[in-house]
Structure 1
Amino acid sequence: MGERKGLNKYYPPNFDPRKIPRIRKPKNQQKKFRSMVPLRIRCNTCGNYMSAGTKINCREEKVIGETYLGIKIHRFYFKCSKCCSELILKTDSKNSTYVVESGATATRVCDQNEEEKQAEESGDVMSSLEKRTLVSKREIEVMAALDEMKSMKSRRVSVSVDSMLEALSRRHKEEEQVANEEDAALIKSIRFGMQRRIVDEDTDEMKEKKKKGRMEAIDEKKPKTKKLACIITSKKKTSLGLASLCHNYGADEED
Protein backbone atom coordinates (compact mmCIF):
# COMPACT_ATOMS: atom_id res chain seq x y z
CA MET A 1 0.00 0.00 0.00
CA GLY A 2 2.86 2.39 0.72
CA GLU A 3 4.29 1.93 -2.77
CA ARG A 4 0.96 2.74 -4.41
CA LYS A 5 0.56 5.97 -2.47
CA GLY A 6 4.04 7.15 -3.37
CA LEU A 7 5.35 7.57 0.16
CA ASN A 8 8.78 6.24 -0.84
CA LYS A 9 10.71 8.66 -3.04
CA TYR A 10 13.88 8.03 -5.00
CA TYR A 11 16.89 10.29 -4.37
CA PRO A 12 19.70 9.97 -6.96
CA PRO A 13 23.31 9.75 -5.75
CA ASN A 14 24.21 13.20 -7.18
CA PHE A 15 21.33 14.89 -5.24
CA ASP A 16 22.35 18.12 -3.50
CA PRO A 17 19.64 19.86 -1.42
CA ARG A 18 21.67 23.11 -1.34
CA LYS A 19 21.03 23.62 -5.06
CA ILE A 20 17.23 23.66 -4.51
CA PRO A 21 16.00 27.30 -4.47
CA ARG A 22 14.07 28.44 -1.43
CA ILE A 23 10.49 29.55 -1.90
CA ARG A 24 9.85 32.91 -0.33
CA LYS A 25 6.24 33.15 0.81
CA PRO A 26 4.58 36.43 1.81
CA LYS A 27 4.01 37.01 5.53
CA ASN A 28 0.24 37.28 5.19
CA GLN A 29 -0.29 34.47 2.72
CA GLN A 30 -3.87 33.26 2.26
CA LYS A 31 -4.67 29.61 2.97
CA LYS A 32 -7.31 27.74 1.01
CA PHE A 33 -9.41 25.09 2.71
CA ARG A 34 -12.98 23.76 2.83
CA SER A 35 -15.15 24.80 5.74
CA MET A 36 -18.72 25.56 6.82
CA VAL A 37 -20.58 28.82 7.31
CA PRO A 38 -20.66 29.60 11.05
CA LEU A 39 -23.72 31.89 10.92
CA ARG A 40 -27.03 32.16 9.08
CA ILE A 41 -26.45 34.96 6.57
CA ARG A 42 -28.30 36.63 3.67
CA CYS A 43 -26.54 37.74 0.49
CA ASN A 44 -26.97 41.45 -0.26
CA THR A 45 -26.81 41.07 -4.08
CA CYS A 46 -29.23 38.21 -4.71
CA GLY A 47 -30.97 37.83 -1.35
CA ASN A 48 -29.99 34.16 -1.00
CA TYR A 49 -30.06 32.70 2.51
CA MET A 50 -27.15 30.52 3.61
CA SER A 51 -27.85 28.61 6.81
CA ALA A 52 -25.16 27.74 9.35
CA GLY A 53 -23.32 24.59 8.34
CA THR A 54 -23.37 24.94 4.55
CA LYS A 55 -20.07 23.75 3.08
CA ILE A 56 -17.94 26.33 1.28
CA ASN A 57 -14.44 26.78 -0.17
CA CYS A 58 -12.86 29.71 1.61
CA ARG A 59 -9.57 31.60 1.93
CA GLU A 60 -8.20 32.58 5.33
CA GLU A 61 -5.72 35.28 6.34
CA LYS A 62 -4.60 37.03 9.54
CA VAL A 63 -5.74 40.60 10.15
CA ILE A 64 -2.64 42.79 10.55
CA GLY A 65 -2.66 45.22 13.46
CA GLU A 66 -5.78 43.83 15.22
CA THR A 67 -5.65 41.61 18.30
CA TYR A 68 -7.72 41.04 21.41
CA LEU A 69 -5.74 40.27 24.59
CA GLY A 70 -2.98 38.76 22.47
CA ILE A 71 -5.40 36.64 20.38
CA LYS A 72 -5.01 37.03 16.63
CA ILE A 73 -8.05 37.86 14.50
CA HIS A 74 -8.68 35.98 11.23
CA ARG A 75 -10.59 36.97 8.07
CA PHE A 76 -12.40 34.53 5.73
CA TYR A 77 -13.28 35.03 2.02
CA PHE A 78 -15.89 32.84 0.30
CA LYS A 79 -18.56 33.10 -2.43
CA CYS A 80 -22.33 32.98 -2.41
CA SER A 81 -23.76 29.62 -3.42
CA LYS A 82 -26.19 31.27 -5.90
CA CYS A 83 -24.68 34.42 -7.44
CA CYS A 84 -20.97 33.73 -6.66
CA SER A 85 -20.50 37.19 -5.11
CA GLU A 86 -17.68 37.48 -2.60
CA LEU A 87 -18.60 37.48 1.11
CA ILE A 88 -16.22 38.33 3.96
CA LEU A 89 -16.39 37.21 7.61
CA LYS A 90 -14.15 38.09 10.54
CA THR A 91 -13.68 36.55 13.98
CA ASP A 92 -14.84 38.43 17.11
CA SER A 93 -12.81 37.04 20.02
CA LYS A 94 -14.36 39.42 22.54
CA ASN A 95 -17.86 37.97 22.12
CA SER A 96 -16.64 34.55 20.82
CA THR A 97 -18.62 34.97 17.56
CA TYR A 98 -18.15 35.96 13.91
CA VAL A 99 -18.86 39.33 12.32
CA VAL A 100 -19.93 39.91 8.69
CA GLU A 101 -17.66 42.55 7.14
CA SER A 102 -19.13 42.92 3.62
CA GLY A 103 -21.32 41.24 1.01
CA ALA A 104 -23.98 39.89 3.39
CA THR A 105 -25.91 40.50 6.62
CA ALA A 106 -26.25 38.22 9.62
CA THR A 107 -29.83 37.30 10.44
CA ARG A 108 -29.00 36.41 14.06
CA VAL A 109 -26.29 37.92 16.25
CA CYS A 110 -25.13 35.62 19.04
CA ASP A 111 -24.57 37.85 22.06
CA GLN A 112 -24.54 36.62 25.62
CA ASN A 113 -26.75 39.45 26.81
CA GLU A 114 -29.39 38.71 24.20
CA GLU A 115 -29.28 35.00 24.99
CA GLU A 116 -29.84 35.76 28.67
CA LYS A 117 -32.76 38.01 27.83
CA GLN A 118 -34.27 35.38 25.56
CA ALA A 119 -33.82 32.71 28.25
CA GLU A 120 -35.60 34.90 30.79
CA GLU A 121 -38.42 35.63 28.36
CA SER A 122 -38.72 32.01 27.22
CA GLY A 123 -39.36 30.43 30.59
CA ASP A 124 -36.55 30.88 33.12
CA VAL A 125 -38.82 32.87 35.41
CA MET A 126 -37.62 31.16 38.61
CA SER A 127 -33.97 31.92 37.91
CA SER A 128 -34.80 35.57 37.22
CA LEU A 129 -36.79 35.75 40.47
CA GLU A 130 -33.88 34.22 42.41
CA LYS A 131 -31.49 36.75 40.92
CA ARG A 132 -33.82 39.62 41.81
CA THR A 133 -34.24 38.37 45.39
CA LEU A 134 -30.46 38.09 45.78
CA VAL A 135 -30.01 41.63 44.49
CA SER A 136 -32.70 42.95 46.86
CA LYS A 137 -31.11 41.13 49.83
CA ARG A 138 -27.74 42.63 49.04
CA GLU A 139 -29.25 46.11 48.83
CA ILE A 140 -30.99 45.63 52.19
CA GLU A 141 -27.74 44.42 53.82
CA VAL A 142 -25.86 47.40 52.41
CA MET A 143 -28.48 49.82 53.73
CA ALA A 144 -28.39 48.19 57.18
CA ALA A 145 -24.60 48.40 57.27
CA LEU A 146 -24.75 52.08 56.32
CA ASP A 147 -27.26 52.78 59.11
CA GLU A 148 -25.01 51.04 61.64
CA MET A 149 -22.03 53.07 60.52
CA LYS A 150 -24.00 56.28 60.86
CA SER A 151 -25.18 55.38 64.38
CA MET A 152 -21.63 54.46 65.43
CA LYS A 153 -20.31 57.76 64.13
CA SER A 154 -22.99 59.72 65.99
CA ARG A 155 -22.15 57.88 69.24
CA ARG A 156 -18.45 58.56 68.83
CA VAL A 157 -19.10 62.24 68.25
CA SER A 158 -21.20 62.52 71.46
CA VAL A 159 -18.72 60.57 73.65
CA SER A 160 -15.52 62.31 74.86
CA VAL A 161 -12.10 60.79 75.54
CA ASP A 162 -12.27 61.30 79.32
CA SER A 163 -15.60 59.53 79.64
CA MET A 164 -14.27 56.65 77.55
CA LEU A 165 -11.23 56.29 79.84
CA GLU A 166 -13.42 56.42 82.97
CA ALA A 167 -15.73 53.74 81.60
CA LEU A 168 -12.78 51.53 80.75
CA SER A 169 -11.25 51.94 84.23
CA ARG A 170 -14.59 51.10 85.88
CA ARG A 171 -14.99 48.04 83.74
CA HIS A 172 -11.46 46.93 84.61
CA LYS A 173 -12.12 47.34 88.35
CA GLU A 174 -15.40 45.43 88.14
CA GLU A 175 -13.70 42.61 86.28
CA GLU A 176 -10.96 42.45 88.94
CA GLN A 177 -13.54 42.31 91.76
CA VAL A 178 -15.47 39.54 90.05
CA ALA A 179 -12.25 37.59 89.49
CA ASN A 180 -11.22 37.97 93.15
CA GLU A 181 -14.64 36.81 94.35
CA GLU A 182 -14.50 33.81 92.09
CA ASP A 183 -11.02 32.92 93.36
CA ALA A 184 -12.14 33.21 96.99
CA ALA A 185 -15.20 31.03 96.37
CA LEU A 186 -13.02 28.46 94.62
CA ILE A 187 -10.52 28.39 97.49
CA LYS A 188 -13.34 27.90 99.99
CA SER A 189 -14.86 25.11 97.96
CA ILE A 190 -11.55 23.18 97.85
CA ARG A 191 -11.17 20.53 100.58
CA PHE A 192 -7.61 19.48 101.25
CA GLY A 193 -6.98 15.78 101.97
CA MET A 194 -4.11 16.38 104.48
CA GLN A 195 -6.21 18.59 106.77
CA ARG A 196 -7.27 15.73 109.09
CA ARG A 197 -3.72 14.52 109.57
CA ILE A 198 -2.55 17.99 110.52
CA VAL A 199 -5.39 18.27 113.04
CA ASP A 200 -4.55 14.85 114.48
CA GLU A 201 -0.91 15.81 114.80
CA ASP A 202 -1.90 19.04 116.49
CA THR A 203 -4.12 17.17 118.92
CA ASP A 204 -1.30 14.74 119.73
CA GLU A 205 1.06 17.64 120.35
CA MET A 206 -1.54 19.33 122.54
CA LYS A 207 -2.02 16.14 124.50
CA GLU A 208 1.71 15.81 125.08
CA LYS A 209 1.90 19.44 126.19
CA LYS A 210 -0.97 18.90 128.60
CA LYS A 211 0.75 15.84 130.05
CA LYS A 212 3.98 17.78 130.47
CA GLY A 213 2.11 20.60 132.19
CA ARG A 214 0.51 18.19 134.64
CA MET A 215 3.86 16.56 135.42
CA GLU A 216 5.44 19.95 136.01
CA ALA A 217 2.58 20.89 138.37
CA ILE A 218 3.08 17.66 140.28
CA ASP A 219 6.82 18.27 140.46
CA GLU A 220 6.20 21.75 141.81
CA LYS A 221 4.00 20.31 144.56
CA LYS A 222 6.54 17.66 145.63
CA PRO A 223 9.22 20.00 147.06
CA LYS A 224 6.66 21.52 149.43
CA THR A 225 6.00 18.13 151.02
CA LYS A 226 9.75 17.60 151.36
CA LYS A 227 10.06 20.91 153.23
CA LEU A 228 7.27 19.90 155.56
CA ALA A 229 8.98 16.59 156.14
CA CYS A 230 12.23 18.41 156.90
CA ILE A 231 10.43 20.70 159.31
CA ILE A 232 8.78 17.71 161.01
CA THR A 233 12.08 15.89 161.23
CA SER A 234 13.69 19.01 162.64
CA LYS A 235 10.92 19.22 165.24
CA LYS A 236 11.43 15.62 166.07
CA LYS A 237 15.14 16.22 166.42
CA THR A 238 14.56 19.10 168.81
CA SER A 239 12.30 17.00 171.00
CA LEU A 240 14.87 14.25 171.14
CA GLY A 241 17.54 16.79 172.06
CA LEU A 242 15.42 18.10 174.90
CA ALA A 243 14.89 14.59 176.10
CA SER A 244 18.62 13.92 176.00
CA LEU A 245 19.32 17.13 177.87
CA CYS A 246 16.80 16.29 180.54
CA HIS A 247 18.28 12.87 180.82
CA ASN A 248 21.75 14.33 181.19
CA TYR A 249 20.52 16.87 183.74
CA GLY A 250 19.02 14.17 185.94
CA ALA A 251 22.19 12.24 185.78
CA ASP A 252 24.21 15.21 186.97
CA GLU A 253 21.91 15.75 189.98
CA GLU A 254 22.34 12.17 191.05
CA ASP A 255 26.05 12.54 190.85
Structure 2
Amino acid sequence: MSERKVLNKYYPPDFDPCKIPKLKLPKDRQYVVRLMAPFNMRCKTCGEYIYKGKKFNARKETVMNELYMGLPIFRFYIKCTRCLAEITFKTDPENTDYAMEHGATRNFQAEKLLEEEEKRIVQDREEEELNNPMKVLENRTKDSKMEMEVLENLQELKELNQRQAQVDFEGMIDRYSEFEKREKEREKEEDERETKEMLDRALVKRLRDSDSDSEKEEEDSSGSQAKKPSTDKPTDILTTLKPTEALGSSAGGAKKAKVETWERSVGTLGGKGALGLLVVRKKPAATFLKPHPVAAASAPTSQTDSKASTTDSKNASKPVTTQNGSSSLSLLGAYSDSDSNDSE
Protein backbone atom coordinates (compact mmCIF):
# COMPACT_ATOMS: atom_id res chain seq x y z
CA MET A 1 0.00 0.00 0.00
CA SER A 2 2.88 2.37 0.60
CA GLU A 3 4.07 2.18 -2.99
CA ARG A 4 1.12 4.22 -4.20
CA LYS A 5 2.48 7.28 -2.39
CA VAL A 6 5.88 7.37 -4.05
CA LEU A 7 6.69 9.58 -7.00
CA ASN A 8 9.07 7.26 -8.90
CA LYS A 9 7.94 3.84 -9.98
CA TYR A 10 10.15 0.87 -10.62
CA TYR A 11 10.80 0.11 -14.25
CA PRO A 12 12.41 -3.22 -15.05
CA PRO A 13 15.47 -3.35 -17.36
CA ASP A 14 13.50 -4.88 -20.18
CA PHE A 15 10.82 -2.13 -20.20
CA ASP A 16 9.97 -0.87 -23.67
CA PRO A 17 7.49 2.06 -23.86
CA CYS A 18 6.91 1.45 -27.60
CA LYS A 19 5.17 -1.76 -26.79
CA ILE A 20 2.48 0.13 -24.78
CA PRO A 21 -0.62 0.57 -26.97
CA LYS A 22 -1.81 4.15 -27.49
CA LEU A 23 -5.42 5.16 -27.23
CA LYS A 24 -6.82 6.88 -30.27
CA LEU A 25 -8.93 9.76 -28.90
CA PRO A 26 -10.58 12.47 -31.01
CA LYS A 27 -8.87 15.83 -31.08
CA ASP A 28 -12.08 17.75 -30.35
CA ARG A 29 -12.93 15.69 -27.29
CA GLN A 30 -14.41 17.56 -24.30
CA TYR A 31 -13.30 17.67 -20.68
CA VAL A 32 -15.24 18.76 -17.62
CA VAL A 33 -13.38 21.51 -15.77
CA ARG A 34 -14.15 23.86 -12.91
CA LEU A 35 -13.84 27.54 -13.80
CA MET A 36 -15.12 31.01 -12.95
CA ALA A 37 -16.92 33.44 -15.23
CA PRO A 38 -14.20 35.64 -16.78
CA PHE A 39 -16.45 38.75 -17.16
CA ASN A 40 -19.93 40.07 -16.39
CA MET A 41 -22.58 38.81 -18.76
CA ARG A 42 -26.36 38.71 -19.18
CA CYS A 43 -28.31 35.76 -20.49
CA LYS A 44 -30.18 36.45 -23.74
CA THR A 45 -32.93 33.90 -22.93
CA CYS A 46 -34.11 34.99 -19.46
CA GLY A 47 -32.13 38.19 -18.79
CA GLU A 48 -30.31 36.78 -15.74
CA TYR A 49 -27.13 38.60 -14.74
CA ILE A 50 -24.05 36.43 -14.27
CA TYR A 51 -21.28 38.26 -12.48
CA LYS A 52 -17.55 37.88 -12.83
CA GLY A 53 -16.10 35.21 -10.55
CA LYS A 54 -19.15 32.93 -10.36
CA LYS A 55 -18.09 29.28 -10.47
CA PHE A 56 -19.34 26.75 -13.02
CA ASN A 57 -18.76 23.15 -13.99
CA ALA A 58 -17.93 23.79 -17.65
CA ARG A 59 -17.10 21.62 -20.64
CA LYS A 60 -13.83 22.44 -22.34
CA GLU A 61 -12.83 21.63 -25.91
CA THR A 62 -10.13 22.65 -28.36
CA VAL A 63 -11.24 24.81 -31.29
CA MET A 64 -10.37 23.14 -34.53
CA ASN A 65 -8.52 24.98 -37.31
CA GLU A 66 -7.88 28.08 -35.12
CA LEU A 67 -4.44 28.94 -33.87
CA TYR A 68 -2.72 32.15 -32.78
CA MET A 69 1.01 32.03 -33.29
CA GLY A 70 0.92 28.28 -32.69
CA LEU A 71 -1.21 28.57 -29.56
CA PRO A 72 -4.46 26.60 -29.47
CA ILE A 73 -7.76 28.31 -28.69
CA PHE A 74 -10.17 26.69 -26.22
CA ARG A 75 -13.95 26.92 -26.05
CA PHE A 76 -16.03 26.63 -22.84
CA TYR A 77 -19.69 25.66 -22.41
CA ILE A 78 -21.62 26.77 -19.31
CA LYS A 79 -25.33 26.88 -18.38
CA CYS A 80 -27.37 29.82 -17.12
CA THR A 81 -28.13 29.59 -13.40
CA ARG A 82 -31.81 30.45 -13.96
CA CYS A 83 -33.01 28.97 -17.27
CA LEU A 84 -30.17 26.46 -17.92
CA ALA A 85 -29.59 27.89 -21.40
CA GLU A 86 -26.20 27.11 -22.87
CA ILE A 87 -23.61 29.91 -23.03
CA THR A 88 -20.30 29.62 -24.86
CA PHE A 89 -17.14 31.73 -24.87
CA LYS A 90 -13.54 31.10 -25.95
CA THR A 91 -10.08 32.33 -25.25
CA ASP A 92 -8.55 35.35 -27.03
CA PRO A 93 -4.76 35.14 -26.70
CA GLU A 94 -4.27 38.07 -29.08
CA ASN A 95 -5.84 40.50 -26.56
CA THR A 96 -5.12 38.36 -23.47
CA ASP A 97 -8.85 38.15 -22.81
CA TYR A 98 -11.96 36.03 -23.49
CA ALA A 99 -14.37 36.50 -26.39
CA MET A 100 -18.13 36.01 -26.06
CA GLU A 101 -19.62 33.61 -28.64
CA HIS A 102 -23.20 32.56 -28.01
CA GLY A 103 -26.05 32.71 -25.48
CA ALA A 104 -25.23 35.95 -23.62
CA THR A 105 -24.01 39.51 -24.00
CA ARG A 106 -21.01 41.00 -22.24
CA ASN A 107 -21.55 43.93 -19.85
CA PHE A 108 -19.29 46.90 -18.98
CA GLN A 109 -17.51 46.73 -22.34
CA ALA A 110 -17.54 50.46 -23.21
CA GLU A 111 -14.10 51.14 -21.78
CA LYS A 112 -12.66 48.19 -23.64
CA LEU A 113 -14.21 49.37 -26.91
CA LEU A 114 -12.78 52.85 -26.39
CA GLU A 115 -9.32 51.50 -25.83
CA GLU A 116 -9.61 49.33 -28.93
CA GLU A 117 -10.69 52.37 -30.96
CA GLU A 118 -7.72 54.41 -29.76
CA LYS A 119 -5.38 51.59 -30.61
CA ARG A 120 -6.91 51.34 -34.07
CA ILE A 121 -6.49 55.08 -34.73
CA VAL A 122 -2.85 55.02 -33.65
CA GLN A 123 -2.19 52.00 -35.81
CA ASP A 124 -3.74 53.59 -38.89
CA ARG A 125 -1.69 56.75 -38.39
CA GLU A 126 1.52 54.81 -38.13
CA GLU A 127 0.72 52.96 -41.32
CA GLU A 128 0.09 56.25 -43.18
CA GLU A 129 3.30 57.85 -41.92
CA LEU A 130 5.29 54.79 -42.85
CA ASN A 131 4.88 55.29 -46.60
CA ASN A 132 4.19 59.07 -46.85
CA PRO A 133 6.84 61.51 -45.40
CA MET A 134 4.62 64.54 -46.19
CA LYS A 135 1.93 63.05 -43.96
CA VAL A 136 4.44 62.88 -41.14
CA LEU A 137 5.22 66.61 -41.47
CA GLU A 138 1.54 67.50 -41.62
CA ASN A 139 0.77 65.48 -38.51
CA ARG A 140 3.66 67.15 -36.63
CA THR A 141 2.43 70.67 -37.51
CA LYS A 142 -1.06 69.74 -36.36
CA ASP A 143 0.29 68.42 -33.07
CA SER A 144 2.34 71.58 -32.46
CA LYS A 145 -0.63 73.86 -33.16
CA MET A 146 -2.83 71.81 -30.86
CA GLU A 147 -0.22 71.98 -28.11
CA MET A 148 0.10 75.78 -28.45
CA GLU A 149 -3.67 76.22 -28.25
CA VAL A 150 -3.85 74.08 -25.15
CA LEU A 151 -1.09 76.09 -23.44
CA GLU A 152 -2.76 79.41 -24.32
CA ASN A 153 -6.09 78.24 -22.97
CA LEU A 154 -4.44 77.05 -19.78
CA GLN A 155 -2.70 80.40 -19.28
CA GLU A 156 -5.94 82.31 -19.81
CA LEU A 157 -7.67 80.18 -17.23
CA LYS A 158 -4.90 80.80 -14.72
CA GLU A 159 -5.06 84.58 -15.23
CA LEU A 160 -8.84 84.56 -14.93
CA ASN A 161 -8.67 82.66 -11.67
CA GLN A 162 -6.06 85.04 -10.28
CA ARG A 163 -8.18 88.10 -11.13
CA GLN A 164 -11.39 86.71 -9.72
CA ALA A 165 -10.09 85.05 -6.59
CA GLN A 166 -7.08 86.47 -4.79
CA VAL A 167 -6.82 84.40 -1.65
CA ASP A 168 -4.29 85.13 1.10
CA PHE A 169 -3.91 81.77 2.78
CA GLU A 170 -1.52 83.01 5.48
CA GLY A 171 -3.87 85.83 6.40
CA MET A 172 -6.75 83.37 6.60
CA ILE A 173 -4.75 81.15 8.95
CA ASP A 174 -3.84 84.13 11.16
CA ARG A 175 -7.44 85.33 11.36
CA TYR A 176 -8.66 81.85 12.18
CA SER A 177 -6.07 81.49 14.97
CA GLU A 178 -7.13 84.88 16.42
CA PHE A 179 -10.76 83.85 16.26
CA GLU A 180 -10.02 80.64 18.13
CA LYS A 181 -8.09 82.57 20.78
CA ARG A 182 -10.99 85.00 21.30
CA GLU A 183 -13.44 82.12 21.55
CA LYS A 184 -11.34 80.42 24.22
CA GLU A 185 -11.06 83.65 26.23
CA ARG A 186 -14.80 84.22 25.99
CA GLU A 187 -15.57 80.68 27.15
CA LYS A 188 -13.16 81.08 30.06
CA GLU A 189 -14.81 84.37 31.11
CA GLU A 190 -18.26 82.80 30.92
CA ASP A 191 -17.13 79.89 33.10
CA GLU A 192 -15.68 82.26 35.69
CA ARG A 193 -18.85 84.36 35.72
CA GLU A 194 -21.06 81.32 36.15
CA THR A 195 -18.98 79.98 39.02
CA LYS A 196 -19.05 83.39 40.72
CA GLU A 197 -22.84 83.61 40.38
CA MET A 198 -23.23 80.11 41.83
CA LEU A 199 -21.05 81.01 44.82
CA ASP A 200 -23.01 84.23 45.39
CA ARG A 201 -26.33 82.38 45.29
CA ALA A 202 -25.02 79.78 47.73
CA LEU A 203 -23.80 82.53 50.11
CA VAL A 204 -27.13 84.38 49.98
CA LYS A 205 -29.02 81.16 50.66
CA ARG A 206 -26.77 80.40 53.62
CA LEU A 207 -27.31 83.90 55.08
CA ARG A 208 -31.07 83.55 54.66
CA ASP A 209 -31.04 80.19 56.42
CA SER A 210 -28.99 81.61 59.30
CA ASP A 211 -31.37 84.61 59.62
CA SER A 212 -34.41 82.35 59.67
CA ASP A 213 -32.78 80.13 62.32
CA SER A 214 -32.00 83.15 64.52
CA GLU A 215 -35.58 84.43 64.16
CA LYS A 216 -36.93 81.03 65.15
CA GLU A 217 -34.67 80.96 68.21
CA GLU A 218 -35.84 84.44 69.22
CA GLU A 219 -39.48 83.42 68.82
CA ASP A 220 -38.90 80.28 70.87
CA SER A 221 -37.17 82.25 73.65
CA SER A 222 -39.95 84.88 73.73
CA GLY A 223 -42.61 82.13 73.82
CA SER A 224 -40.85 80.37 76.69
CA GLN A 225 -40.66 83.63 78.63
CA ALA A 226 -44.36 84.25 78.04
CA LYS A 227 -45.26 80.75 79.20
CA LYS A 228 -43.16 81.00 82.37
CA PRO A 229 -45.42 80.53 85.50
CA SER A 230 -45.98 83.37 87.94
CA THR A 231 -44.46 81.42 90.81
CA ASP A 232 -40.82 81.90 91.55
CA LYS A 233 -40.12 78.18 91.94
CA PRO A 234 -41.95 75.20 90.45
CA THR A 235 -41.87 73.45 93.82
CA ASP A 236 -43.68 76.27 95.61
CA ILE A 237 -46.98 74.77 94.56
CA LEU A 238 -46.18 71.61 96.50
CA THR A 239 -45.71 73.51 99.76
CA THR A 240 -49.08 75.24 99.70
CA LEU A 241 -51.94 73.95 101.78
CA LYS A 242 -55.52 73.53 100.67
CA PRO A 243 -58.41 74.93 102.72
CA THR A 244 -59.79 71.45 103.35
CA GLU A 245 -56.46 70.18 104.76
CA ALA A 246 -56.69 72.10 108.06
CA LEU A 247 -58.97 69.57 109.80
CA GLY A 248 -56.54 68.18 112.32
CA SER A 249 -53.03 67.46 113.21
CA SER A 250 -52.89 63.76 112.24
CA ALA A 251 -55.41 63.81 109.41
CA GLY A 252 -53.92 67.03 107.93
CA GLY A 253 -50.42 65.55 107.74
CA ALA A 254 -51.66 62.43 105.93
CA LYS A 255 -53.70 64.45 103.44
CA LYS A 256 -50.76 66.74 102.76
CA ALA A 257 -48.50 63.79 102.03
CA LYS A 258 -51.08 62.28 99.67
CA VAL A 259 -51.52 65.59 97.82
CA GLU A 260 -47.76 65.98 97.41
CA THR A 261 -47.37 62.45 96.05
CA TRP A 262 -50.31 63.00 93.67
CA GLU A 263 -48.83 66.20 92.29
CA ARG A 264 -45.41 64.61 91.89
CA SER A 265 -46.81 61.68 89.90
CA VAL A 266 -49.47 63.50 87.81
CA GLY A 267 -48.02 67.00 87.62
CA THR A 268 -49.71 70.37 87.33
CA LEU A 269 -51.41 71.92 84.31
CA GLY A 270 -50.45 75.53 85.03
CA GLY A 271 -52.48 78.40 86.45
CA LYS A 272 -54.93 78.63 83.52
CA GLY A 273 -57.56 76.33 85.08
CA ALA A 274 -58.44 74.52 81.84
CA LEU A 275 -60.20 71.70 83.73
CA GLY A 276 -61.91 73.98 86.26
CA LEU A 277 -65.31 73.58 84.62
CA LEU A 278 -65.09 69.80 84.90
CA VAL A 279 -64.61 69.72 88.71
CA VAL A 280 -67.52 70.41 91.00
CA ARG A 281 -67.45 70.12 94.78
CA LYS A 282 -69.63 67.43 96.27
CA LYS A 283 -72.33 68.76 98.54
CA PRO A 284 -72.19 67.40 102.15
CA ALA A 285 -75.01 64.97 102.86
CA ALA A 286 -76.95 65.14 106.18
CA THR A 287 -76.00 62.20 108.40
CA PHE A 288 -77.25 61.22 111.81
CA LEU A 289 -74.34 58.96 112.66
CA LYS A 290 -71.97 59.44 115.52
CA PRO A 291 -69.35 62.02 114.70
CA HIS A 292 -65.83 60.91 114.15
CA PRO A 293 -63.27 61.86 116.79
CA VAL A 294 -61.30 63.77 114.25
CA ALA A 295 -64.42 65.63 113.16
CA ALA A 296 -65.23 66.42 116.82
CA ALA A 297 -61.77 67.82 117.24
CA SER A 298 -62.32 70.01 114.28
CA ALA A 299 -65.77 71.26 115.35
CA PRO A 300 -64.82 74.91 115.40
CA THR A 301 -64.15 74.70 111.71
CA SER A 302 -67.56 73.19 110.74
CA GLN A 303 -69.12 76.59 110.31
CA THR A 304 -66.45 77.65 107.86
CA ASP A 305 -67.02 74.42 105.89
CA SER A 306 -70.75 75.05 105.63
CA LYS A 307 -70.11 78.55 104.40
CA ALA A 308 -67.66 77.28 101.86
CA SER A 309 -70.21 74.71 100.63
CA THR A 310 -72.84 77.39 100.10
CA THR A 311 -70.45 79.58 98.20
CA ASP A 312 -69.38 76.59 96.10
CA SER A 313 -72.97 75.77 95.18
CA LYS A 314 -73.50 79.36 94.10
CA ASN A 315 -70.32 79.46 92.08
CA ALA A 316 -70.65 75.98 90.54
CA SER A 317 -70.76 77.46 87.09
CA LYS A 318 -67.45 79.29 87.62
CA PRO A 319 -64.08 77.55 87.12
CA VAL A 320 -62.53 76.19 90.30
CA THR A 321 -59.18 77.72 91.24
CA THR A 322 -56.89 77.03 94.16
CA GLN A 323 -54.51 79.05 96.18
CA ASN A 324 -51.11 79.86 94.74
CA GLY A 325 -52.18 78.82 91.21
CA SER A 326 -52.73 75.06 91.93
CA SER A 327 -54.52 72.99 89.31
CA SER A 328 -58.05 71.65 89.52
CA LEU A 329 -56.73 68.11 89.00
CA SER A 330 -54.73 68.30 92.25
CA LEU A 331 -57.82 69.71 93.98
CA LEU A 332 -59.83 66.74 92.69
CA GLY A 333 -57.31 64.36 94.26
CA ALA A 334 -57.42 66.23 97.57
CA TYR A 335 -61.22 66.27 97.54
CA SER A 336 -61.43 62.52 96.95
CA ASP A 337 -59.06 61.94 99.84
CA SER A 338 -61.09 64.14 102.17
CA ASP A 339 -64.33 62.29 101.30
CA SER A 340 -62.82 58.92 101.99
CA ASN A 341 -61.49 60.11 105.37
CA ASP A 342 -64.84 61.61 106.34
CA SER A 343 -66.68 58.41 105.49
CA GLU A 344 -64.34 56.53 107.79
TM-score tier, shorter chain, comes to: 0.3 to 0.5
Higher CA-based Rg:
2
TM-score (norm 1): 0.38
